[in-house]
Chain A
Amino acid sequence: MSRLRVVIASLLLVAVMAGGAFASGELNAYTIMPEKYASQVFEAFTAETGIKVNFMRFSSGEALARVVAEKNNPQVDMILGGPADTYEAGIKEGVFEAYRPAGADGIPDKFRSKENFWTGIGIIPLVFLTNTKFLADKGLEAPASWNDLLDPAYKNGLQMADARTSGTATERIYSLVKILGEDEAFAYQKKLHQNIQMYTKSGAGGAMPVAMGQAASGIFYIVDALDIQQQGHPVVISYPKEGVSFGIEATGVLKGARNLENAKKFMDWASSKTFAQLLVDRKINYIPTRGDVEVTNPALDLSKVSLVEVDVTWKGQNRKAFVDRWINEVIK
């Protein structure tokens, strides 16, 4: 009898077991920045401040969906990485806490939220990543124009991100809309769709297939493309002559953060020169938003690349409409 009581008690215990307490001296974060980079960033932060960081990696859409869903019960204090337009979308949902970090003055205004909801820590242009064996087989040059990707040689050979989940994909749409105008941009994408092999869930998802030769080419943020190249895969990075837009990799504090002070400390640190230098030293391939560090990797030298400036607020405002249009016009 008594044993049965114990059993029942333990069942009840599970039924009512509530959430664990959050200890101080900690920082909880979602990172949209790839895990292998985020882990280095947070390690360095912990080494410097002694604050332990718990983090999880999500693609930008997932991370935003989560913080929106958890608005009344925030599970994390901040987000690291991810394109600024994701943050703009989040501002509309009221999930961010305004904070002007200590190093803000070293970062140009265009790389920061006007209301201090987010701070840009790096910029990353879109690039074409193409398998060199594929090019050699087909006798092609690396694509140098958006139109090169419409070549039937690429039939069933392109992998790029799905606009529903990936910030890379929406960046691609912004670029095209800015260069071609909205209707033209979607008409182009419809043509491009003929050559698509697969839309991947995450922005970087198609890069490995390109590296392995499963796919011929794709459009990625430079950070993912360079990573593949540095691993030694036979790939070439190129830019379209019409120009590409770039993403601003941002970071921001969440409203209702349980470790607000620690999150602010992180913002201060991430806006500092130390952090910018860390990106360069660790070959984390974002171009720092601070102008006071020297970028050593020649691949990140963008002086010859035609970059298109796209206002982040505009991105945030148009994101959902573009994604809907993409679903209904492009992949139909």
Chain B
Amino acid sequence: MAVTLELLNVSKIFRKDRELVRAVDNVSMTVAPGEMVTFLGPSGCGKTTTLRMVAGFETPSGGTITIDGQDVTNVPVNRRDIGFVFQNYALFPHMSVFENVAYGLRVKGGREEEIRRKVREGLDLVGLAKAENRFPNQLSGGEQQRVALARVLVLQPRVLLMDEPLSNLDAKLRIHMRTEIRRIQKHLDITCLYVTHDQGEALTMSDRIMVMNRGKVEQIGAPLDIYSDPSSLFVADFIGQANIIPGKVLSAEGGAVSVSLPDISVSVRAVKDASFVPGDEAAVVVRPENLLPSSGDGMKGTILTATFLGGRMEYEVALESGRTVLSFDPFLPGKRMWAEGEAVSLLFDPAVAVALKA
């Protein structure tokens, strides 16, 4: 049932103010049947353009897009058999919820009872069975979002494309809808591309994440891999919070590299496909939850701010080099807390840190 989606060397060049801008630069990837892949990146990185090319709203300047082995690069949107969920939902304001959901079915044709049945099923799936006679402007944002979802799902598209569908919802609803969308996608076993700039969304929902920056693919991988093994400083910084601590390579051997940092030297994993020689500049990525304050050895610094967040303490620490780092210390009653202005040493477990080329 579910199909493969493949992008091969897809590029998009825009002309803007007489200059050519490469909005999407040579993107290639394969989405497995039933897989959910998230395009993640800052705004303007080309993720939405890529999605719109897959949908057929934009024509690639180069490269091919295939769905289920069929080249669809120049097939018009309405013949691609895709479902697209818009950031602003794009519900037809002059049609009722029922008519919105029935729209695509009516295009396909079919008996009226059949259409009715499918619309009801679709609305049931998103939990809006009772709203079918209402108009979009009578629905809340979350309800509108679910109608938009139902509207494409009833067509059983080969590929489901979503363009930041949750960004207009409030925080609580957003978290609820994440699981809801993921549940439905798995339940229907449908190949899905999902564009977001919210890393939380990307990490919780996707099978794989494609991180994009300036039109190029930075890294493609499972959420865990991307988090623990960012292949570039950009990815490290963009996914989760990261302290990037510069240092000098002392020695490199196999997958391990020994780096001299302010006050300490550590041996950490080198990022995949990177080769270091002694004397190279390196950057060690340490997640804040791995960087803990103590009064013993470690990188010397001064607490700038200390914030109590319930489950943990957040410290902003100025290292002696002037660089500011973050440290998250799980809070337990009775634990030593540091006050602003105190001198502190920072230490981390080298096993979960990674060295990148600076």
Answer yes or no: A and B touching, Cβ < 8 Å. no
> Which residues from chain A sit less than 8 Å from chain B, CB to CB?
none
> Which residues from chain B sit less than 8 Å from chain A, CB to CB?
none
